[in-house]
Structure 1
Amino acid sequence: MRALALTLALTAAPVAASELSSSITGKLILPAFEELAEDSRTLARAAQANCDAQSGALRAAYGEAFDAWIAASHFRFGPTETDSRAFALAFWPDSRSKTPKALAGLIRSEDAGIKDPAAFAGYSIAARGFYALEFLLYDPQLSTAGTPEYRCALTRAVSTDIAATSQAISADWQQNYAAELRAPGSRYQTEDEITQELFKALTTGLQVLDGMRLGRPLGTYQKPRPDRAEARRSGRSLRHVLVSLNALEPLALALAGGDADLQEKIAAGFAKARTKAEALGDPVFAGVSDPAGRFRIEALQQEVKDLHILMREDLGPALGVAAGFNALDGD
């Protein structure tokens, strides 16, 4: 992935502190959202060409666009938060099964409003985004519910909406928010505030890996929850962990700046987590219900926890910032 390719470049040529935010914005953030916009356009075109749930081309385009979102999703501030765009792309976790209920309701009523992109953008976020499209492409019930014609229209509506939302995020970054992040101004008063925003994106991304992507299916030893694994219908649960690790590492290395020792620790930590993830061979974390499989998944989770500790206890103090509050911290 593009993010991994940048890892070596950022390690070999650390930027000065005054250029940190500008470098991260130009080399990591903008390219991530440009890729999301491009891959989402390809997804919308694939749905127009063939909307059948079994279409190999459509499923491949869906996977590429979903990868791009996971790789960019830790930058969850600014344009991604405007108009609840992040939730419109990724309504998860869905603990009350709102997405299948919303989709079933649309299919049952054959709501004609889905054919108007502007109208569909105002529909419930539970019926929009990558997780909704996963149900339409991979769920045995919803991928065959109702008439083929309506399912086709709904698949196209969701795909077109993903593309429009992704393009809006990318354009907003290019035209407005990038300048805010490159230098103190109206939104951020100091360089430290900008650095803290970026550091919080990193630590929140690791929290999502630990508590949600791994923690939700692990549940407890007495009550594992394999059915809570992210994107399990499309077999993407483990893939999302790897894509996220590969996207978070360049950000962590960039934030470490010219501290070669800290960069070495960070790279080693990510390498250990990646090695354990790649060795799992369990794409949907079904092994959480088996003692041996569970131990291996917990070992991966521990590597992610160790990375989080490294960021909090070493990288944060080196930057002179703390992670700060985020939505995952609860009340």
Structure 2
Amino acid sequence: MARRRGAGCARQGGRHVSRRSCQFDPVPGVFVMKFLCLVPLRSMMAACVLGTTLGLLPNASQADEVNEVSATQRVNVVDNAGAGQRWAEAYIQPSFATLTHAAGNLVKEIQGICANSGRRDAALLGEAFKNVVDAWSRVLFLRFGPLVEANRYERISFWPDVRNVGARQIPKIIGQYEAGQAPELSKQSVAVQGLPALEYVLYREGGLIQAVALDKPFSKVMKAQCDYAAAIAGNLVATANELESAWSEQGTYGKAFKQPGPAAAYRSLDEVLSEGIKALATGLQFTSDIQIKPALTSGNSKLLPYWRSDQTLSALRAGIVGMREFMAAGQLSLGEQAWAQQQFLAELTRADALLQGPEDFEAVALILDNARALLVQDIAPAAGVALGFNALDGD
């Protein structure tokens, strides 16, 4: 079957090579390397399983072209019968438990500050916020099942907020708290409920972090901000508890991922495998195309996640490590394509190690695109999975 060549693809020496300029406008004040990326297609991959230099894998424009895998290469779906249970027990359940625990600690920290009980410590508050951001970043790619029900994803993180809805609505919410008319947060816009809203209240100019650092009695408006922050944290705990419960041993999704059946949320092993692999593909696309590239192409660092709190690098690395650990936990049987899984894990390990500063964003995005190409072109077909639409389609 002939392979079509994506835009910017040329032939050199009998092979397809993608010439990607990779020249983005840099984030202000930060040097961003510019280079010409030469990315050979998958005909070169099998011989480069242990390669670590950039440019071994297909370019992003070809990532959704699923290769044909011969019958001898494609494993029987039953060979991966335990993947759902391993994903649930080794990664999903403990990760949502960590999110619940981190959110609970954040609530206690903020409530103590609001009540002025004990010593106020801006560093402890910042660390508690960071722990929740990291815990969330490790599960946000699990964008299916309970996380997309009841707007839970958006309730935890309405981002990117392209219309700046949160910044417009948050002052009104604070005003209600100041007037002693605290609204029921769960019934308000998702833009004022989750982590981006909390980051705004904590880290904006004149925000709660600065007020705590001054170690002076709160003004009426600052007390209102504190109460609002505590309400957001409480909302995060409630949502995290719902997710942890849904994925528990007796939860709807915890049971269905391990034992799919006609009456379960997942009817077959194929559906479980498809959900897990599609979640990874979507997560890689989200990290590269939405979290990283807009800031590179526009030169606007405020398009990065958690730029106010300076948690961008930590959040990105937590997400990359999380996706790597999820793949490793599944222990997929891929037959002759086992090399692709090992290369996928190596790519994400390399991305995590490389990501030390904004100057690394461009190279990391390329690595993530390469990892996604491996997933879509080699791993999914070998596992007998046909990837359909994902949560980002239409965005």
Q: What TM-score does the superposition give when structure 2 sets the normalisation length? A: 0.70
Shift of 1:180: 1.3
Counterpart amino acid of 1:269?
E
2:138 is paired with a residue whose SS is: helix
- Cross-structure match for 2:194: 129
Give yes or no for the alignment of 1:140 onto 2:205. yes
Higher relative contact order (CA 8 A, sep 6+): 2
Q: 1:18 aligns with which of 77, 81, 86?
A: 81
- Cross-structure match for 2:46: none
Shift of 1:142: 5.1
Give the root-mean-square deviation of aligned CA atoms. Answer: 2.2
Shift of 1:81: 1.6
- Cross-structure match for 1:244: 319
Shift of 1:311: 0.6
Counterpart amino acid of 1:139?
R
- Cross-structure match for 2:99: 36
Which whole-Å CA distance do the structure 2 matches of 1:311 and 1:275 have between them? 20
Give yes or no for the alignment of 1:45 onto 2:111. no
Which whole-Å CA distance do the structure 2 matches of 1:111 and 1:100 have between them? 19
Which whole-Å CA distance do the structure 1 matches of 2:179 and 2:238 have between them? 21
Closer/same/farther in 2, CA of residues 306 and 152 from structure 1, 3 Å limit: same
Which whole-Å CA distance do the structure 2 matches of 1:301 and 1:172 have between them? 32
Which whole-Å CA distance do the structure 2 matches of 1:176 and 1:104 have between them? 38
Q: 1:312 aligns with which of 365, 376, 390?
A: 376
Give yes or no for the alignment of 1:85 onto 2:155. no
1:304 is paired with a residue whose SS is: helix
Give yes or no for the alignment of 1:330 onto 2:394. yes
Which whole-Å CA distance do the structure 2 matches of 1:140 and 1:72 have between them? 30
- Cross-structure match for 2:242: 168
- What are the Cα deviations for residues 57-102 of structure 1, in whole angstroms up to 9, with x where unaligned? 2221111111111101111111112210110000000011111111
Shift of 1:299: 1.6
Which whole-Å CA distance do the structure 2 matches of 1:323 and 1:225 have between them? 33
Counterpart amino acid of 2:129?
Y
Shift of 1:207: 0.7
Superposed, 1:1-331 pairs within 5 Å as 17-51=80-114, 55-109=122-176, 110=178, 112-114=180-182, 119-141=184-206, 143=208, 147-174=221-248, 175-185=251-261, 186=263, 187-219=265-297, 223-255=298-330, 257-259=332-334, 260-278=338-356, 281-282=357-358, 293=359, 296-330=360-394
Contact 2:324 2:349 (C-alpha < 8 Å) held by counterparts? no
Shift of 1:326: 1.5
Q: Any unmatched runs of 5+ in structure 1?
A: 1-14, 283-292
Contact 2:99 2:136 (C-alpha < 8 Å) held by counterparts? yes
Which whole-Å CA distance do the structure 2 matches of 1:32 and 1:196 have between them? 20
Contact 1:217 1:224 (C-alpha < 8 Å) held by counterparts? yes
Which whole-Å CA distance do the structure 2 matches of 1:89 and 1:114 have between them? 20
Identity of matched residues, %: 27
Contact 1:316 1:322 (C-alpha < 8 Å) held by counterparts? yes
Shift of 1:272: 2.2
Q: What TM-score does the superposition give when structure 1 sets the normalisation length? A: 0.83
Shift of 1:37: 0.7
Shift of 1:128: 0.8
Contact 2:103 2:132 (C-alpha < 8 Å) held by counterparts? yes
Which whole-Å CA distance do the structure 1 matches of 2:152 and 2:226 have between them? 24
Give the ranges of 4+ consecutive aligned residues of structure 1 lying more than 6 Å apart after TM superposition. none
Contact 1:256 1:262 (C-alpha < 8 Å) held by counterparts? no
Closer/same/farther in 2, CA of residues 264 and 56 from structure 1, 3 Å limit: same
Which whole-Å CA distance do the structure 2 matches of 1:239 and 1:178 have between them? 28
Shift of 1:56: 2.0
Counterpart amino acid of 2:187?
G
2:160 is paired with a residue whose SS is: coil
Which whole-Å CA distance do the structure 1 matches of 2:361 and 2:129 have between them? 26
